[in-house]
Amino acid sequence: MPKLSIRYQLMLLAAFVIAVFFQTQFAEICLIDDLDALNATLSQEHFSFLETFFPQSFGFGYYRPLIPLTYWFDKQLWFLSSINMHFESVVGHLLNAILLFFVTRISLRRYLENSDGYIPLSVSLLFSVHPLVTESVNWISGRTDIMMTTFVLLSLLCLLCYQTKKRYFLLGLAVIMAGIAMLAKETALGYIIGLPLILMEKRPNNVTEGESTGTPFRVIPFLISFAVSVIIVICFDIYWPVIAITCSHLLYLQYSSFHSSDQSRGLYKRLTILAGTFCGCVLVFVAFRKTAITSGVGKISQTFSLMFVDLNYTISVFLGAIGFYVKKFFLPLPLNFFILEIDPLYSLAGIFVLLLIMLLLMSDELSARLSLVGFLALAPVLPFAFGTIAWSSYAERYLYLPSAFWLLALGLWVGKWLENRQKYSSYFVAIISLLCLVLGGITYYRNTVWKTNVDLMRDTVAQTPRKRVLREIYIWALLYAGRTQEAEHEYWLAAKVAPFGYDDRTDLRIAELLISQGRHKDALRLYQDSIQRTRYSSAKLLTAAIDFLVLMQHTEQATPEDLTNIAALEKEYRQKRAELAARPK
């Protein structure tokens, strides 16, 4: 079949991405994180590069200096225009798809004798329209994933070129790009740890006759290991034996392999380098973080404390997260902006994935190395499942970088399979075309959901109805959109739902918005209803209501009758607040 030139393939890729994400640039500023970040940038009187990279502040959270730097540039160039900032995300995502295209081309040239075909275009198209990327592209705060992936792919491109041309400046450039990726998001640490695995990759034509770079897949032992692990977990709810069985399966693969003794030495070498790189990277990262900031928030240390309290539970959480994310990669629906908890059965899928990782460790093929790097890129977000670091325990955006590596690895595997089966190439193109159209349609629809805060939060609340903070944000979105009746209906509906408990922050926020809209009578009614409903137990509500009543007494619209009623109500609330303060604590 006729083959498009690289120029036309890239034009097709760009056209497809722009068509799917065209509406993203007209999306609203998300009320979650985006609004706070932009307000903080607007209120910033002066900008210091030194303070950005070495803030030396207390209570510091994420260390991502490239992100405020990009916000500062956006402020200088177009005063934080939401259209331009969303357009930047789309362009950044397109750039990542193009980089993945060239990474796939170079990898195929190293991997196969006949590397012509549409596999690079297929990999980049599938990555660009995969439904999991919508969160990173539509959310301005998601530029952390896009920027990190850009520098990681640049690093990988330099690394692959170094292996071909053996020029050490390319290796140095690959390390520098990986370090810059860390400044965009800390999870790039996973790629840096796996970087030596790619360096250790050998060309297939270097393998001597009679050898193979693959690993034999023994179905029966694999299934036995999986079945025994599942039975132990289901019957005894313990996960320690799973680790022991997995290690035993790795040893079995090592000694039952038909490879020479070099295979065993290669496995030990890979494990040693991985362990050494991990320790070195963590020490360098911690040292640099301590140099850059005086004191960070305790979320990370708190999470590690929780991890070591019950290691059995930690293993179950990690296995569940791995199984969930792998399932999300292949079956992304349903899409959800806020994922607080997952089905415990995902830990069983995690066991299956863990056994597959052992197979990848034994393999010398580049596709296996890239798959492992994808899992290493996912590893830093596994502790987030404890719900103490990020606002969401699980997030689709965490798969933005791993999906690029997994799609690349799948592309290499398919390319190898098609190498001697050219008659199936036309079927491959047809299947990929259909798949891209289906995924593109899903992604396009998801982009419409992200276009407004009301639609996004309605969808999120529908999937996670028992999370109070989501309902609060949904109410805010309705009020900002001028849909006050719906906001009030949602507010009173949420207030009646017992499992939510009571939190006076919602009442205070709604009252503030009503006051800002000049709806003083509605605000007064809300204060009265809330205070009666809580039986005068909220000091914050009483204080806010008193301040509001004082403000009402100075409005010109207040009649003498209104002033009398307001004064009486203020006196009552002051008395109740004094009684509340006098209660023993």
Sorting pLDDT into bands at 50, 70 and 90, what band is 212? very low
- pLDDT class of 496 with cuts at 50, 70, 90: low
Identify whether residues 427 and 508 lie together within a single domain: no
Q: Would you state the pLDDT for residue 11?
A: 95
Q: Which two tokens stand for residue 438?
A: 């289906």
DSSP 296: B
Has residue 502 got a pLDDT over 60? no
Mean pLDDT, rounded, of the chain: 85
Out of 390, 420, 450, a domain closes at: 450
The mean pLDDT of 144-173, rounded to a whole number, is 93
Domain count, the chain: 2
Say if residue 445 is in the same domain as residue 506: no
**Sequence letter at residue 363:** S
In 54-142, which residue ranges form alpha helices assigned H by DSSP?
66-78, 82-111, 119-129, 134-138
Question: Same domain, yes or no, for 425 and 538?
Answer: no
Kindly state whether residue 262 falls inside one of the protein's structural domains: yes
| Whole-angstrom distance, CA of residue 337 vs CA of residue 52 | 29
Measured CA distances, 65 to 48, 53, 68 (Å): 11, 5, 6
- Separation CA 308–CA 70 (nearest Å): 37
Omega before 334 within 30 of 0, i.e. cis: yes
Task: Name the pLDDT band for 498 (thresholds 50, 70, 90).
Answer: very low
**Contacts (Cβ under 8 Å, ≥6 apart) of 124:** 13, 97, 98, 100, 101, 104
Distances, alpha carbon 274 to alpha carbons 198, 200, 251, 381, in Å: 11, 11, 17, 18
Same domain, residue pair 567 and 507: yes
Looking at the fold, whether 423 and 528 belong to one and the same domain comes out as: no
Q: Which two tokens stand for residue 135?
A: 């969160």
Tell me, yes or no, whether 390 and 516 share the same domain.
Answer: no
Q: How far apart, in whole angstroms, are the C-alpha atoms of residue 538 and residue 12? A: 60
Closest by CA position to 508, among listed 483, 537, 482, 472: 472
Residue 159: pLDDT over 80: yes
The pLDDT, as a whole number, for residue 91 is 97
Residue 414 resides in a domain: yes
Q: How far apart are CA 212 and CA 364, in angstroms?
A: 9
pLDDT at 483: 84
Write the secondary structure of 358-398 as one string of H (helix), E (strand) and C (coil): HHHHHCCCHHHHHHHHHHHHHHHHHHHHHCCCCCCCECHHH
Per the structure, the complete domain to which residue 522 belongs is given by 502-582
Identify whether the C-beta of residue 516 lies closer than 8 Å to the C-beta of residue 531: no
Tell me what the mean pLDDT of segment 54-75 comes to.
81
pLDDT over 90, % of the chain: 44
pLDDT above 60 for 207 = no
Rounded Cα distance, 345 and 324, in Å: 9
Q: How far apart are the first and last CA of the chain?
A: 81
Domain membership of residue 473 (yes or no) is no
**DSSP secondary structure string for all residues of 138-182:** HSGGGHHHHHHHHHHHHHHHHHHHHHHH--HHHHHHHHHHHHHHH
Q: Is residue 54 part of a domain?
A: no
40 assigned to some structural domain: yes
Name which of 503, 506, 446, 449 is nearest 476 in CA terms.
506
Q: Are 491 and 506 in contact (CB under 8 A)?
A: yes
Q: How confident is the model at residue 475 (pLDDT cuts 50, 70, 90)?
A: confident
pLDDT at 556: 61
The reported pTM is 0.86
Q: Which residues pair with 394 in a beta bridge?
A: 339
Query: Residue 460: its pLDDT value, please?
Result: 93
Q: What is the mean pLDDT of residues 17-35?
A: 93
Please tell me the distance from the alpha carbon of residue 441 to that of residue 437, in angstroms, as a whole number.
6
Q: Does 415 fall in a domain?
A: yes
**pLDDT tens-place string over residues 85-128:** 999 999 999 999 999 999 999 999 877 765 657 899 999 999 99
> Is 270 among the domain residues?
yes
Considering the domain architecture, whether residues 399 and 527 belong to the same structural domain is answered as no
Percent of the chain with pLDDT strictly greater than 70? 88
For residue 451, give the DSSP letter: T
Model confidence at 499, pLDDT cuts 50, 70, 90, reads: very low
Phi-psi region of 22 (alpha: psi -120 to 50; beta: other; left: phi over 0): alpha
Name the 3-class secondary structure at 339.
strand
pLDDT, mean of residues 56-81: 84
Report yes or no on 110 lying in a domain: yes
